[in-house]
Amino acid sequence: MTQKELNIGAEDVQERLDKVLVKHNEDYSRHQMQLLIKEGKVLVNGKKVKPNYKCKLSDVVTWTLKEETKQRLEPESLPLSILYEDEAIIVIDKPRGMLVHPTERVFSGTLVNALLNYTDELATLSGKERPGIVHRLDQHTSGVMVICKTNDSYEKLKNQFKKKSVTRYYEAIVHGNLTHEKGTIKAPIGRHPKNRLKRTVIADGKEAETNFKVLANTKDYSHVQCQLITGRTHQIRVHMKYINHPIVGDPLYSRKKSPYIEHQALIARTLGFIHPLTKEYVEFTCERPEWFKKLLLLFHLKA
């Protein structure tokens, strides 16, 4: 069991206890925290309270979390679409539907499981559960990713991502006729105040910037290229919703259900960076997957 303690500061005064605990335990849902409070495993100043207790300045909150038994990661013989490989990096085309790394609930079928089966040479600085992983794509976003085989390549690429010097072009099919041929969306992104699975444009969020260019459009749909300048969670999905052109099929950010696709029509098309060994700029582009091509044809958008 893990014991934790929190002294309530000014930013959490008059906030519900369950909401405050979620802020400080991001791996847990609000429902899970409410259960802990009801079970008496959360105390405020040594006393049991209700989940809707309003926190007061200098309250001492203590709680107990059960230590989760980590399941060992196992190599799995899963197909990998490798675009390029050398002694420092592997560039892959991740399929839609594959998680990049394990979560608390999923320990198999991920890209990491496939990589462990493919090679013993993976960077370790990214952590035991994320060997070689220097950046991520959403589970249902397919496309180009770079994997690090050495710690040196990991450090150099991580630094490039941090400095925002990596080239990242995505393509998406969005609802509506996006009449501006190109533009830039600068809007800060943070966690949604009511749904912890979502992100939203919010005043106190982190800086987020996306460039877009319309490749084709009709009255009802647009095919857009999006360049990530920053790399916030769900950034393109949130920004396209923000300008009232949500991505087709997006289960989190689009109210319009599509009979043609169950997940966001978004692909990571191009990735460019300074190679950690040669120190030269390299760029990799994947083919549009068949499901994406079919949507372009169906919506009369030229591929």
**Measured between alpha carbons, how far is 94 from 108 in angstroms, rounded to an integer?**
16
Task: List the domain range (segments joined by +) for residue 11.
Answer: 2-65
Please, which pLDDT band fits residue 1 given cuts at 50, 70 and 90?
Answer: low
User: For residues 202 and 187, what is the distance between their CA atoms, to the nearest angstrom?
Assistant: 8
Sign of dihedral through CA atoms 133, 135, 140, 143? negative
172 and 241 in a single domain? The answer is: yes
Average pLDDT in the chain? 92
pLDDT at res. 27 = 60
Domains of the chain: total: 3
- Whether residues 256 and 199 share a domain: the answer is yes
Radius of gyration of the chain (CA): 22
Residues 111 and 135 both lie in one domain: yes
Do 185 and 196 reside in the same domain of the chain?
yes
Catalytic residues: 138
* Residue 67 binned pLDDT confidence (cut-offs 50, 70, 90): low
- Are the CB atoms for 264 and 250 separated by under 8 Å? yes
Helix axes 17-24, 30-38, angle to 10 degrees: 120
CA separation for the pair 177, 219 (Å, rounded): 5
- Which range, of 13-17, 84-88, 125-129, averages the lowest pLDDT? 125-129
Cα–Cα distances in Å, from 268 out to 9, 124, 144, 265? 41, 25, 6, 11
C-alpha span between 235 and 233 (Å, rounded):
5
CATH number of 28's domain:
3.10.290.10
Q: Give residue 69's pLDDT.
A: 47
Tell me: do 177 and 299 sit in the same domain.
Answer: yes
Looking at the structure, tell me whether residues 106 and 53 fall in a common domain: no
Residues 113 and 137 in one domain: yes
Give the span between the Cα atoms of 276 and 152, in whole angstroms: 8
Q: What does DSSP assign to residue 10?
A: G
- pLDDT value at position 227? 98
Alpha carbon distances (Å) from 44 to 5, 18, 27, 31, 55:
10, 12, 21, 18, 9
pLDDT in the model for residue 49: 94
**Global confidence as pTM:** 0.77
Q: Which CATH number characterizes residue 218's domain? A: 3.30.2350.10
Instruction: Burial-class residue 301 by CB neighbours within 10 Å (0-12, 13-18, 19+).
Output: middle
Considering the domain architecture, whether residues 180 and 87 belong to the same structural domain is answered as: no
In this prediction, residue 128 carries a pLDDT of 82
**Residues 273-281: what's their mean pLDDT?**
97
Residue 153 shares a structural domain with residue 54: no
Type and span of the H or E element at 169: strand 167-175
